[in-house]
Structure 1
Amino acid sequence: MPKKFFATVALLAVANVFMNLAWYGHLKFKDKPMAIFILASWGIALVEYCFQVPANRMGAEVMSVTQLKVTQELLSISTFALFAVFMFKEKPTMNHLISFLLLVGAAYFAAKK
């Protein structure tokens, strides 16, 4: 695998941490004004895009757009699962595991030539 592939995955993983924080982090602070978290989420999303855009540009050089999107979704659900467990103390269920494995299968078939 080329270096650009691994760099793409690393950048996408970092971007997804920020994405999950922007989308779901505010749920830990339901008693605070929503306007504050809308602005904060935009700021966090800007940081996310600083990783996401270069990752997509680099990734498009070594994979198809479909492969890139499926890779992004796999990383998105992976980081979300960790986020849900560590930030919100949710316990993973068998249905969560099965859905994750189906996404892994989707990534495999999208990458298969």
Structure 2
Amino acid sequence: MKAILTICLLVLSNTFMVIAWYGHLKFSEWKWSSKLGLISIILISWGIALFEYMFQVPANKIGFKNNGGPFTLIQLKVIQEVITLLVFAVFTLVVFKTETFRFNHVIAFILLILAVYFMFKK
């Protein structure tokens, strides 16, 4: 149960992270944002990133082996990185529609899955 909760929290965290880091690139399509300066965009992104931390910190706390969770610190980091890349890929394909999913992306995702496999292998 803690493993599933940790992964769900990491997915939520990374969703907010991707929106905070890359969502502002879509601002130019919205009229209200045309007069925003860089500082305003940074502050908006920080506001969004607050939610990232609200999910990331509990995910790490719940999932970490030394706190009774199922994952080592290295395993947590690898899981988080894989989730980050998956969330980013979906975000790019759905929100920006500027990328095409190609064979090399499939190979990259297979290699990520293998990375997770080897990270958990005893």
The bucket for the TM-score relative to the shorter chain is over 0.9
The partner residue of 1:38 within 23, 26, 42 is 42
Distance 1:81 1:42 in 2: 22
- Identity %, equivalent residues: 50
Structure 1 residue 15 displacement after superposition: 0.4
Q: Deviations along 1:45-72, whole A, 9 cap, x unmatched? A: 1111000000001110211111111111
Structure 1 residue 33 displacement after superposition: 2.4
The structure having more radius of gyration, on CA atoms, is: 2
Q: Deviations along 1:17-66, whole A, 9 cap, x unmatched? A: 00000010011124542222100111111111000000001110211111
Distance 2:87 2:105 in 1: 13
Detail structure 1 runs of 4+ shifted over 4 Å in the superposition. none
**Cα RMSD for the two superposed structures:** 1.1
1:54 equivalent to 2:63? Answer no
The partner residue of 2:76 within 68, 73, 77 is 68
Distance 1:97 1:84 in 2: 15
Q: Superposed, which structure 2 residues align to 1:1-113 within 5 Å?
A: 3-30=1-28, 31=34, 32-60=36-64, 61-89=69-97, 90-113=99-122
What TM-score results when the alignment is normalised by the length of structure 1?
0.93
Instruction: Identify unmatched segments of 5+ residues in structure 2.
Output: 29-33
Distance 2:92 2:106 in 1: 14
